[in-house]
Amino acid sequence: MVRHTKEEAAITREHLLDTAEVVFLREGVARTSLQRIADEAGLTRGAIYWHFKDKVEVFNAMMERVRLPCEEAHDAQALGLTQDTDPVEALRDFAWVPIARMLDDARTRRVFTIAIHCTEYSDEMRPALERHMAAMEEFRSRAERLIAAGQARGLLDAAISARSASIGFIALIDGLLSRATLLPIEAGDVEGYRGGIEVFLRGLRQDESKV
């Protein structure tokens, strides 16, 4: 019986977090109360307080259920460059991981949208923002290493600062991720997003005729 009760509690907790995602996305975190989440979930105020002490705890638990797009890229790209690795191909693949995550995973897209557009960060919620910023900076840093490797092998223009190029790179990815949160996902988005990445890479090449 204890096991069954724990299973039911876990199911209820997940249901509350699923509901919180929907309400936060629709109404914004600041305008959402625990009572509103409980009502939407078809549960009592006491039920939600049994699982969460306040809205900040709900928000943080919601954030913990997903990998942020750029965090997904960190896992996918270990930067184990060898003599046989094409750093430009690696950079292209690296760029696509967070975009694919946003396009393919509805929960990631929903939670990322809440984090970027629907949250006014208080001190208690700031760790979620800092997590996002740290993931973006790590993404930029890894891109800088790939760009520098491409320059060292004569594949990318060494006259361009690798750091400056990486800042432009993260700005591009951040812009594409933001676009995916603001507009419905359409059939041509994959081609369009890949095309945007290719245009950027073409601008970094030592010799554009090699594209």
Residue 139's Cβ-count burial label (10 Å; 0-12, 13-18, 19+) is buried
What SS3 class is residue 205? strand
Of the pLDDT bands very low, low, confident and very high (cuts 50, 70, 90), residue 206 is low
- Residue 98 scores a pLDDT above 80: yes
Of the pLDDT bands very low, low, confident and very high (cuts 50, 70, 90), residue 73 is confident
CA–CA distance, 121 with 11 (Å, rounded to integer): 28
Q: What is the DSSP letter of 156?
A: B
- Residue 2 scores a pLDDT above 50: no
Global pTM reads 0.84
Give me the amino acid identity at 27. Answer: E
Of 133, 116, 204, 208, whose CA–CA distance to 166 is shortest? 204
Q: Report the chain's mean pLDDT, rounded to a whole number.
A: 89
CA–CA distance, 102 with 106 (Å, rounded to integer): 7
Of the pLDDT bands very low, low, confident and very high (cuts 50, 70, 90), residue 38 is very high
Of the pLDDT bands very low, low, confident and very high (cuts 50, 70, 90), residue 211 is very low
Q: What is the pLDDT of residue 136?
A: 94
More confident residue, 1 or 125: 125
- Residue 185 scores a pLDDT above 90: no
Q: What is the pLDDT of residue 117?
A: 93
- Residue 51 scores a pLDDT above 90: yes
